[in-house]
Chains A and B, each alone.
Chain A
Amino acid sequence: MKAILLLALLALVSFLGSAKVLGKSRIPGLRLFSRTGILFLLLGACIGYNELDILDQETYLKLGPVIVIGLGWLGFTFGTNLEFRTLRKFPLRLYLATWLQALVTFAAVFATFLYLDSEYLHLPTAEAYIAAVLLAATAAGTAPASLFMLGGERLVRGTNFETLRFFATLDDFPGLLALGVLCSFSPGLHQANYTNPVFWFVFQVLLGVIFGFFLRTLKARSLDQSAGDLMVFGVIGMSSGLCLYLHLSPLFVSAISGMVVVNISDRSEAIYQRLVRRERAFYVLFLLLSGCLWVVTPNLPALVLAYVLSRLIGKTVGTALAVQSLPNHWPLPVTSGLGLISQGGLAIAMVVSYRWAFGAYLVDWVVGVVLSAVVIHEMVGPWIQLKMLQRMGDA
């Protein structure tokens, strides 16, 4: 066992080395792999208790706080994107278009998996709905990372690119909302006295608001940078732990906290930059540990295929419909949905969040499907986006 741990360390070092090498790869998907840290997801899957068992279940559970805080941190980071002062500058139609394509994708994946769950997998009704909603929620969003990478490398620029980036930044919102609703409805685990789903949904929103204001009052003190980071971490940790304790979604609640903080703070950009730069270590650990949940079942390839295809159809059709609703001076081609297929940390966080809060109600393959799909989408997403934007003249 101890020797295996040493091997694990060696594996980690070589993995970090390969990340460095991949970062210079000519294939955009591989570059993205190294930059987003998805490699650590694969490493986690290999060394986790479902495969090689180098990171055994006991150690994994002891590292639970890292995952839980990671979930909160991801939600909080997403929430800080939703600053009304900036959002107000964009026309309402653009938001409606963004959410329309997300909702169509949600519907496509939900319908596909509700059918598969009940007709082929014969899941009980509650589990079938939970699996379908969760998969749909993860599918609705787009990870903006690959677009940011292509933009950052100056490979693409232009109106189409900017519009896609807008879609990708905000289209996780419906999925996150669905997760919040799903947690409010999830059966059996809430206190008998408080079974009303509406109560729990409102409670989640309130909790997010309270922690947002609480963090604001803490940051109002004259804190240096590391103390400021500590307070953010503390509040995210406390709210995330509290959410799981009450079987709520730390991701959803922290997203609301992030939204509140960024809207009542006068240094919103600084908060976001610090969050994404300083705590990379935490994110990497989160991915590593999330990988441990990856269970390979015999029907996984077929299910992943169903997920990827239904999501692709949803994104393509959804974006085509969304484009129709935009004014004429927004010349986005109807095929531009292909530019929104990348998936990332938030999709992983949604499924891991639910797994932690309601593990008993979630079939293992759901986690496997999402993790596999994220890897596939990260791999091919940037290449497809680059090709598509080249055709649109934005490269």
Chain B
Amino acid sequence: MITTIVQVSIAYFLLLGAQILGAGPHHSKAEETTMALGFVLIASYLVGTLCPRVKMPMITGYMLSGVFFGPYFLAFIDPSLAVLSHNAIHELELINHVALGLIAFTAGGELKLESIKSRWKALLSITFIQSLSAFVGVGCLLYFVGGQLPGLSDFSPTQLMVASSLLACTAMANSPSTTIAVINETQSEGPVTEIALGVTVIKDMLVIACFAATMSFSRAMMTPGKGLDLGFALDLGWEIVGSLLVGVVLGGLLSLYIGKIGAELPVLLMGVAFLADYLAEPFHLHGLLICMMAGFVVENFTPHGHTFIHAVERNSLPVYVIFFTLGGAQMELPALKVVGLVATILVAARAFFTWLGTSAAAKLSKESGSVVKYAWTGFLGQAGVTLGFAVLVSNDFPSIGNQLRTIIVAAIALNQVFGPVIMRFGLAAAGEIGEREEDEEDDLLAGEEVLV
């Protein structure tokens, strides 16, 4: 522990020393960003290695490192002390998008068709009952007690109803990237792992649908005389079905590439992950869904699943370190100070109703005791999709949007810190940690040399 602190401190002071020595106007963004990126890789990984000692997943360490070196925590003392400034975070967004695409490839690739076939009843019932439980439970609670809570107390009854339904909708969402990262890191395998992964992927589609429907309902409520706009259903259909179709085509093309060419697969996958995310937005598609579907197709419908997953996972460690550190750095700590109480209630209520819905659905589907007891722990992390929703809410509802955005962002911060910890606990209690058989190193590049 002391060695780790000393090593992180050395890296940090080297960075500070450079900033003092090189202070001046002639700096490009790439210089600061590369310096921050290198530091993040070292410091976050080292902090992450401390976590398993206290039964926490390493990604929590990465996130805490992001919080500590991000634009709020150290900057509270002096802005120049922050390593990951807003500027650096913005510049690293591109790398972050590639990371997200690669994580989505892994999520799709880890989803086995046999497992879905054997558990389809449980997967569907847990997805729907748990989502319904979180939506109705959290929505009702906030509607009835929201008037007493700072942050929501100055809303009119209509505004409170809209706010409750929008916040309830965010309570349904969870983070595929967090789920897959914890599963991969802990090398877990078993019924709880399968349920957590399967439900998370299916729920990603359901949540997009519910977001769109709730937004349309809320717009109708907030604009007197405006009826319910059902046009969202068409957009939604395109977003989900279109993304899945593009994913299928992409999966087919990737498989063809692996079979016929196969060269430089990691480079190609990075390029594809970037393009899928980059091109999804203007076409109103969902980049994460495209990549997940592509991964699923390659793994389950082609003979190249192993090569594909191996190529993706070759880069998984730096991908997770960068992605979750940036996630931590983006946590808006000042938001917690402003709406801490309502965010805490939202987080606690979400956890309770998630547990209730998951356990009930697991019992109904006659799943094993470990699934009934611990599967809910896999659905607490929250990240990108919910954050995107917060931005939409803020833009679409000027009167209450900013307040809601602050609450959602604060809740994401809490969920993202506690979610992975609780998930790891659940996997450990279910006895699934370390159960995955290690793949033999498939030396994809064996025989290839980089000749410089």
| Interface residues in chain A, defined as those with a beta carbon under 8 Å from any beta carbon in chain B | 2, 5-6, 9, 12-13, 16-17, 19-20, 32, 35-37, 59, 61-65, 67-69, 74, 77-78, 143-145, 148-149, 152, 189, 191, 194, 210, 214, 217-218, 221, 226-227, 229-231, 233-242, 244-247, 276-281, 283-285, 344-346, 356
B34 at the interface (CB under 8 A from A): yes
A135 to chain B, nearest CB (A): 20
Q: Please measure, in the bound complex, the distance between the C-alpha atom of A284 and the C-alpha atom of B316, giving whole angstroms.
A: 19
CB-nearest residue of chain A to B46: A218
> B452 touching A234 by the CB < 8 A rule?
no
> B18 touching A245 by the CB < 8 A rule?
yes
> B452 touching A345 by the CB < 8 A rule?
yes
> A20 touching B28 by the CB < 8 A rule?
no
> A277 touching B451 by the CB < 8 A rule?
no
Residues on the A chain within 8 Å of B321, using CB? 230
> A65 touching B30 by the CB < 8 A rule?
yes
Residues on the B chain within 8 Å of A143, using CB? 451-452
Residues on the B chain within 8 Å of A280, using CB? 264, 266, 445, 448, 450
> B42 touching A241 by the CB < 8 A rule?
no
Besides A17-B261, A144-B451, 12 more A-B contacts (Cβ < 8 Å) are: A2-B278, A20-B262, A59-B94, A189-B26, A218-B7, A238-B14, A238-B37, A241-B38, A245-B31, A278-B314, A285-B270, A344-B452
Which residues of B from 1 to 49 have beta carbons under 8 Å from A? Answer: 3, 7, 10-11, 14-15, 18-19, 21-24, 26-42, 45-46, 49
> A247 touching B34 by the CB < 8 A rule?
no
> B10 touching A244 by the CB < 8 A rule?
no
B141 at the interface (CB under 8 A from A): no
What bracket does the count of chain B residues touching chain A fall in?
35 or more
> A238 touching B42 by the CB < 8 A rule?
yes
| Interface residues in chain B, defined as those with a beta carbon under 8 Å from any beta carbon in chain A | 3, 7, 10-11, 14-15, 18-19, 21-24, 26-42, 45-46, 49, 91-95, 257, 260-264, 266-268, 270-272, 275, 278-279, 282-283, 314-318, 321, 445, 448-452
B185 to chain A, nearest CB (A): 12
| A13-B452 contact, Cβ under 8 Å, with A63-B94, A241-B31 | no
B50 to chain A, nearest CB (A): 12
In order of increasing CB-CB distance, the 7 nearest A-B pairs are: A64-B30, A237-B38, A238-B38, A241-B35, A241-B34, A234-B41, A145-B451
Q: Please measure, in the bound complex, the distance between the C-alpha atom of A136 and the C-alpha atom of B266, giving whole angstroms.
A: 35
Q: Please measure, in the bound complex, the distance between the C-alpha atom of A277 and the C-alpha atom of B446, giving whole angstroms.
A: 8
Q: Please measure, in the bound complex, the distance between the C-alpha atom of A134 and the C-alpha atom of B299, giving whole angstroms.
A: 49
> A245 touching B279 by the CB < 8 A rule?
no
Residues on the B chain within 8 Å of A6, using CB? 275, 279
Q: Please measure, in the bound complex, the distance between the C-alpha atom of A20 and the C-alpha atom of B24, giving whole angstroms.
A: 47
A275 to chain B, nearest CB (A): 8
> B451 touching A149 by the CB < 8 A rule?
yes
> A227 touching B317 by the CB < 8 A rule?
yes
CB-nearest residue of chain A to B30: A64
Q: Please measure, in the bound complex, the distance between the C-alpha atom of A69 and the C-alpha atom of B91, giving whole angstroms.
A: 15
Q: Please measure, in the bound complex, the distance between the C-alpha atom of A148 and the C-alpha atom of B315, giving whole angstroms.
A: 28
Which among B21, B283, B449, B450 is the interface contact of A246 at CB below 8 angstroms?
B21
> A238 touching B11 by the CB < 8 A rule?
yes
Which among A16, A236, A240 is the interface contact of B261 at CB below 8 angstroms?
A16
26 example contacts (A-B, Cβ-Cβ < 8 A) are as follows: A9-B272, A12-B268, A13-B261, A16-B263, A19-B264, A64-B28, A64-B33, A65-B34, A77-B452, A143-B451, A143-B452, A148-B451, A191-B22, A210-B14, A214-B11, A233-B38, A234-B38, A235-B38, A235-B42, A238-B11, A238-B15, A238-B42, A239-B38, A244-B31, A280-B445, A356-B28
A148 to chain B, nearest CB (A): 6
B376 to chain A, nearest CB (A): 31
B14 to chain A, nearest CB (A): 7
> A346 touching B28 by the CB < 8 A rule?
no
Which among A5, A68, A283 is the interface contact of B450 at CB below 8 angstroms?
A283
B15 to chain A, nearest CB (A): 7
> A9 touching B448 by the CB < 8 A rule?
no
Residues on the B chain within 8 Å of A285, using CB? 267, 270
Residues on the B chain within 8 Å of A276, using CB? 449-450, 452
Which among B21, B23, B36, B94 is the interface contact of A241 at CB below 8 angstroms?
B36
A15 to chain B, nearest CB (A): 9
CB-nearest residue of chain B to A77: B452
Q: Please measure, in the bound complex, the distance between the C-alpha atom of A145 and the C-alpha atom of B448, giving whole angstroms.
A: 13
Q: Please measure, in the bound complex, the distance between the C-alpha atom of A284 and the C-alpha atom of B24, giving whole angstroms.
A: 33
Q: Please measure, in the bound complex, the distance between the C-alpha atom of A326 and the C-alpha atom of B31, giving whole angstroms.
A: 45
Residues on the A chain within 8 Å of B93, using CB? 62
Which among A74, A214, A233 is the interface contact of B41 at CB below 8 angstroms?
A233
Q: Please measure, in the bound complex, the distance between the C-alpha atom of A289 and the C-alpha atom of B450, giving whole angstroms.
A: 17
> B452 touching A247 by the CB < 8 A rule?
no
> A35 touching B451 by the CB < 8 A rule?
yes
Q: Please measure, in the bound complex, the distance between the C-alpha atom of A227 and the C-alpha atom of B49, giving whole angstroms.
A: 10
B276 to chain A, nearest CB (A): 10
Residues on the B chain within 8 Å of A17, using CB? 260-261, 263
CB-nearest residue of chain A to B43: A234
Q: Please measure, in the bound complex, the distance between the C-alpha atom of A346 and the C-alpha atom of B272, giving whole angstroms.
A: 28
Q: Please measure, in the bound complex, the distance between the C-alpha atom of A62 and the C-alpha atom of B28, giving whole angstroms.
A: 11
> B317 touching A230 by the CB < 8 A rule?
yes
B66 to chain A, nearest CB (A): 15
Which among A67, A74, A230, A281 is the interface contact of B270 at CB below 8 angstroms?
A281
B104 to chain A, nearest CB (A): 17
Residues on the A chain within 8 Å of B262, using CB? 20
> B264 touching A16 by the CB < 8 A rule?
yes
> A5 touching B279 by the CB < 8 A rule?
yes
A179 to chain B, nearest CB (A): 16
Residues on the B chain within 8 Å of A36, using CB? 450-452
Residues on the A chain within 8 Å of B18, using CB? 242, 245-246
Residues on the B chain within 8 Å of A221, using CB? 3, 49
Which among B29, B37, B266 is the interface contact of A237 at CB below 8 angstroms?
B37
Residues on the A chain within 8 Å of B451, using CB? 32, 35-36, 143-145, 148-149, 344
Q: Please measure, in the bound complex, the distance between the C-alpha atom of A143 and the C-alpha atom of B449, giving whole angstroms.
A: 14
> B278 touching A5 by the CB < 8 A rule?
yes
Interface core residue of B15, B92, B257, B271 (most chain A CB under 10 Å): B271
> B22 touching A12 by the CB < 8 A rule?
no
Residues on the A chain within 8 Å of B21, using CB? 191, 194, 246
> A277 touching B450 by the CB < 8 A rule?
yes
Q: Please measure, in the bound complex, the distance between the C-alpha atom of A276 and the C-alpha atom of B264, giving whole angstroms.
A: 14
A12 to chain B, nearest CB (A): 6
> A65 touching B452 by the CB < 8 A rule?
no
Interface core residue of B7, B31, B317 (most chain A CB under 10 Å): B31
A218 to chain B, nearest CB (A): 6
CB-nearest residue of chain A to B254: A13
Interface core residue of B26, B34, B264 (most chain A CB under 10 Å): B34
| A64-B29 contact, Cβ under 8 Å, with A145-B452, A242-B15 | yes
Q: Please measure, in the bound complex, the distance between the C-alpha atom of A191 and the C-alpha atom of B94, giving whole angstroms.
A: 31
Q: Please measure, in the bound complex, the distance between the C-alpha atom of A121 and the C-alpha atom of B316, giving whole angstroms.
A: 50
Interface core residue of B27, B37, B260, B270 (most chain A CB under 10 Å): B37
Q: Please measure, in the bound complex, the distance between the C-alpha atom of A241 and the C-alpha atom of B267, giving whole angstroms.
A: 22
> B445 touching A244 by the CB < 8 A rule?
no
Residues on the B chain within 8 Å of A74, using CB? 452
